[in-house]
């Protein structure tokens, strides 16, 4: 089944404890992206990747890191999480940007 998977789906952590949210797609897509969704602010793009080893900032990259070492994986790293990073995070992929994106199921992160 063609899909985008994210892990974990739910995470509660404390300020400053490094964490990684994984994202993987099995559709051989070139383009991958991370978003956060907050009430009243909608979906905001954090980082995106056009291909392996090619990444660029979206609109809200501060406090986040990404890497794209393999085509199928695009992990999101929070080196020192803070409470303002509490949000719902979505990973998405598309055959190539900018075309239709397929979204993962989401990761709900709470930083205490």
Interface residue list for another protein (CB under 8 A): 31, 33, 35, 40-45, 48, 50, 56, 58-59, 90, 97-106
Which of residues 38 and 79 has its CB atom nearest to another protein in the complex?
A: 38
Instruction: Give exposure, 36-59, as e/b (b: 16+ Cβ within 10 Å).
Output: beeeeeeeebbbbbeeeeebeebe
The number of C-alpha atoms within 13 Å of 19 and in the hemisphere containing its C-beta is: 19
Nearest approach in angstroms of CB 14 to another protein is 25
CB of 7 or CB of 45, closer to another protein? 45
């Amino acid at each position: 089944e063609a899909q985008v998977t994210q892990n974990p789906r739910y995470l509660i952590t404390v300020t400053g404890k490094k964490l990684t949210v994984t994202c993987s797609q099995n559709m051989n897509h070139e383009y991958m992206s991370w978003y956060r969704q907050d009430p009243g602010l909608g979906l905001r793009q954090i980082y995106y990747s056009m291909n392996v080893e090619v990444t660029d900032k979206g609109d809200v990259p501060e406090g986040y890191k990404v890497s794209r070492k393999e085509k199928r994986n695009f992990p999101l790293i929070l080196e020192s999480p803070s409470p303002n990073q509490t949000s719902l995070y979505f990973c998405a992929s598309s055959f190539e940007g900018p075309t239709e994106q397929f979204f993962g199921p989401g990761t709900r992160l709470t930083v205490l």
